[in-house]
Amino acid sequence: MFSIILAAGWPIWPLIASSVLGLAIVIERYFSLTDAKIAPAGLTKAVITSLQEGIAQPDSVAQLERNSLLGKVLASALIARSENPSASEGDVRAALYQSGRLAAQTLEMRLTALATIASSAPLMGLLGTVVGLIEIFGAQSPGSASGNPAQLAQGISIALYNTAFGLIVAIPALVFWRYFRARADAYLLQIESGADQLLRRLRPTGTP
């Protein structure tokens, strides 16, 4: 493997760095985008059920805020209502909207970097291909039909290895970006649904 890297020349090193960064992002997102950390099953229902017993206590709200990303969003509405019991529905909705935006940013964290790796890896591979072609043409010395065979072989190696490695990095990065993008969108939909259910529960009686 190391011999292949050496044969590919210097253009492959940015690709290796991109592959390491992409792998780190994939591992981090895999363990971060989980039900337990984002939207535990039944959390919204449990919060609404507990509200039937009265205003949530500060310690339970703080515990809810630390529970998960969904819990943090739901807690923002309870905090807004506890700090101002006469807060209008618009005030509570504004608190939910602000926390929801922060939740969306958390869900999309590092996905832009992964998408950048997926789109830039083929270009870096193309750069290596161009460098390899330059090596090939450089091997063709004036007045010589065959040129320098060693330099010619090196140019071909640089061109082919970099093209292949660029695709090897880009294809998995694109697949995982799409997977995590879809996963983040699904979680965001759950958070929006939970926030809407809680908002209806906090709406004053008789309000349409």
pTM above 0.85, yes or no: no
Indicate whether 208 belongs to any domain. no
User: Would you give per-residue pLDDT tens digits along the chain (208 residues)?
Assistant: 666 666 667 778 899 999 999 999 999 999 999 999 999 999 999 998 888 766 667 788 889 999 999 999 999 998 888 888 777 888 899 999 999 999 999 999 999 999 999 999 999 988 888 887 777 776 665 555 455 666 666 677 777 888 889 999 999 999 999 999 999 999 999 999 999 999 988 875 444 4
Residue 51's closest CA among 197, 190, 193, 191? 197
Structural domain contains residue 68: yes
Which residue range is the domain that position 191 belongs to? Answer: 2-202
How many domains does the chain fold into? Answer: 1
- Within a domain: 185: yes
Say if 134 falls within a structural domain: yes
- The number of C-alpha atoms within 13 Å of 143 and in the hemisphere containing its C-beta is 0
Asked, for residue 69, whether it belongs to a domain, the answer is: yes
